[in-house]
Amino acid sequence: MLRGPLEPKHEQGPGRPTPHEQAPHEQAPKGGKRSREEAFTSEDGAPPAKRQRTPSYENTEAVLRDRGLEPPTREQFDALNEHLRGTGEGRFPKPTPELLAAVNPHAGSRDGDRLHSCLEATEALRDTHYGRPRPSGHPYHGRPEDSPAWTLLKRHDAPHQHGVDQQGVDSLLEQVREAGPGTFSTVLFGKPGEEGHALALIHGEDGRTVWADPSTHRTWEAEPGRLPGEWAEGSHVWAATSGPGEETVHGTFDHGLFEPDGAKFGVLSVHMDGRTLPPADKLMVEGIAEQIDARVERAAAAVLSDPGAVPVIDGHTRNWVNSYNEWIDPATTPERRAAIEGLFPRQFGYAVETMANGLIRDEVGPTLDDDITISTQVTHGATRPDLVVIRTDPVSGLKQELAWIDITADASVGHIHNKQSSLWDTRPYVAETLYPSLDRTQLGSNSSPEARQMAEAIAAAHARQQEATAQQLSSMRDRLPAPLDSFNKANRAKDIEVKLGEMFNDNHKLTPTEARNVLAALKDKYGNDYAPSQYGYSTGGSAVEGRRLIEWFLARENAAAQPDEAMDLT
């Protein structure tokens, strides 16, 4: 009986690494019995795989079908191998769009939904990366894969947690770069209990570190301080990372990811055709966009000019009102006021969106045809467009997305075209509706006379603070020691952390993150001679956070110099 398609065999040639060795907690016990503790834990706290696993076993027809995947065809294997022969690559092939298309040749799931199994596609890329080329399995249905953490544990090792948002991404970048060329990481972004997205982070033989998304056939440079896509705030970063020899790169284990209600991964909606709208639909959508734009402008004006009068509709508007009221309170300390100002831009944007969504719902929605609706924050894998115009077929109930519209500050105009793996360039109609970026001089301009007077005084104090920050940066630049080539990276980093701590009049060194951020602020003002990499750091920092740290220090120094005096905002 013919069973197939079969996975191609891989001959063991001279110098070719052996297939992936199982992690210690995956190996069958040798000799006597293990203790109960040994049987249920690994060196990093991960639960054991339920049986010994090998890559070839995990890619068998039975296992793939059990995961809801149809095995790849012989033709798909041939196409992938032909691509690799053409490039002359074996292990560690460059993750070009052509390679990603060969690894994930599917247009969607078998049931006709235009959905991709991003976890399976990333794992197929991992196998190909380590010299076991295979196309990804074809999902039967457009649903997230159950128990993704268990799937990765069975295939090679458990995903480890790296943190949340940018901090998590930067932690992972540092680990992958330090592990060396040939390192591959299956990365999971998402929140506990919600659907997330999987893609790869690869340290290539050329030394470049790149993101590779087999779901969209895209690759792009991995940079510190830059998220690989548009992620909801609070997204966790998990990753199963293997070094050049496919050895596990360990990290912090997250038991919650193995729970039944843990995050789910494996589905990313992708519409690759990018077709344009028919003229009548385009005219209709443009009219809707103009109505939306007018409401966004009204919302932004209200949120900016009289923050204290903004209705508390949700947590975003509550945060905005509370922050503004605390900001204008004379009893607020300089340190706290500086911290609030750091929150203002994001809180302002969220409050504008909340107010605009209410106006759109109440004023634009009733004017639309019965089959047209405007939905907010529709999740598409890594992307959540602010507004989606949808047509629903009255007979079949099928929904067609006509337009994506992004609500954004004018300082970020065009940013939807820079969002990697976010699908904005695959939609038939996309638009940005812009509102003026936060202008602190106009904040509260329509408030009570007392609030306006306080806001004006704060704005004047802020101008003085900016001047003091610039002077502090200049002083730090003059006192900063030049990088010493005789030191290794670790020594250079520790040395600069101590030196910067002394400049802050602290008795201890700055943390690595604080030091990177201050150096990033210096680089932003004075050039690459002050880049964190010059002082031994493999990842960059945030210039905004660096300036914020300096402002906090100056405010603390000012408060210490005048402990018994009321704050002077005049």
Grouped pLDDT means (10 residues each) for the chain, 570 residues: 30 35 36 39 49 70 84 93 91 94 82 68 95 91 72 88 89 94 92 79 93 89 80 81 93 72 46 57 89 90 86 87 90 87 90 89 89 82 79 80 86 61 67 84 73 58 74 83 60 82 72 87 86 81 81 67 44
- What 494-497 contacts at long range (C-beta under 8 Å, 24+ apart), as own/partner pairs, is 495/535, 496/535, 496/536
Contact between residue 461 and residue 328 where contact means Cβ atoms under 8 Å apart: no
Cα angle, residue 174 at apex, residues 169 and 179 outer, rounded to 5°: 125
Distance in angstroms (rounded) separating the CA atoms of residues 430 and 370: 22
Domain ranges in the chain are 24-269, 279-442, 449-561
Per DSSP, 375 falls in state E
Q: Which of 470, 469, 495, 481 is nearest to 557 (CA)?
A: 469
Contact between residue 116 and residue 123 where contact means Cβ atoms under 8 Å apart: no
Contact between residue 384 and residue 372 where contact means Cβ atoms under 8 Å apart: no
Give residue 127's pLDDT.
95
Per residue in 69-110, pLDDT (tens digit) is 889 999 999 999 999 999 888 899 999 999 999 999 987 666
The token duo for 350 is 């969220």
Q: State the angle between helix axes of 489-503 and 512-526 in degrees (0 to 180), rounded to the nearest 10.
A: 80
Give residue 484's pLDDT.
59
- Number of neighbouring beta carbons within 10 Å of residue 106: 22
Give residue 235's pLDDT.
81
pTM: 0.46
User: Half-sphere exposure (CA, 13 Å, Cβ side) for 64?
Assistant: 27
Distance in angstroms (rounded) separating the CA atoms of residues 423 and 39: 44
Give residue 135's pLDDT.
96
In the block, tokens 């390192």 appear at 183
Distance in angstroms (rounded) separating the CA atoms of residues 303 and 280: 35
Give residue 445's pLDDT.
76
Distance in angstroms (rounded) separating the CA atoms of residues 17 and 28: 22
* Sequence-separated (6 or more) residues with CB below 8 Å from residue 471: none
Q: Which of 392, 260, 338 is nearest to 567 (CA)?
A: 338
Phi-psi region of 45 (alpha: psi -120 to 50; beta: other; left: phi over 0): left
Q: Which of 168, 211, 174 is nearest to 191 (CA)?
A: 168
Q: Which helix (H) or strand (E) holds 404?
A: strand 399-409
Q: Which of 126, 125, 107 is nearest to 116 (CA)?
A: 107
Per residue in 409-452, pLDDT (tens digit) is 877 766 665 554 456 666 778 888 888 888 877 787 776 676 55
Distance in angstroms (rounded) separating the CA atoms of residues 348 and 356: 12
Contact between residue 43 and residue 25 where contact means Cβ atoms under 8 Å apart: yes
Give residue 3's pLDDT.
24
Distance in angstroms (rounded) separating the CA atoms of residues 456 and 451: 9
- What 230-234 contacts at long range (C-beta under 8 Å, 24+ apart), as own/partner pairs, is 230/382, 230/383, 230/384, 230/419, 230/422, 231/165, 231/189, 231/382, 232/191, 232/384, 233/165, 234/164, 234/165, 234/191
Q: Which of 452, 420, 8 is nearest to 197 (CA)?
A: 420
3-class SS of residue 184: strand
* Sequence-separated (6 or more) residues with CB below 8 Å from residue 539: 170, 173, 174, 177, 224, 516, 532
Give residue 400's pLDDT.
82
Give the gyration radius of the chain's Cα atoms.
Answer: 27
Distance in angstroms (rounded) separating the CA atoms of residues 351 and 335: 24
Distance in angstroms (rounded) separating the CA atoms of residues 238 and 163: 8
- Number of neighbouring beta carbons within 10 Å of residue 337: 21
Per DSSP, 277 falls in state P
* Sequence-separated (6 or more) residues with CB below 8 Å from residue 249: 175, 176, 179, 183, 185, 241, 242, 243
Distance in angstroms (rounded) separating the CA atoms of residues 513 and 225: 12
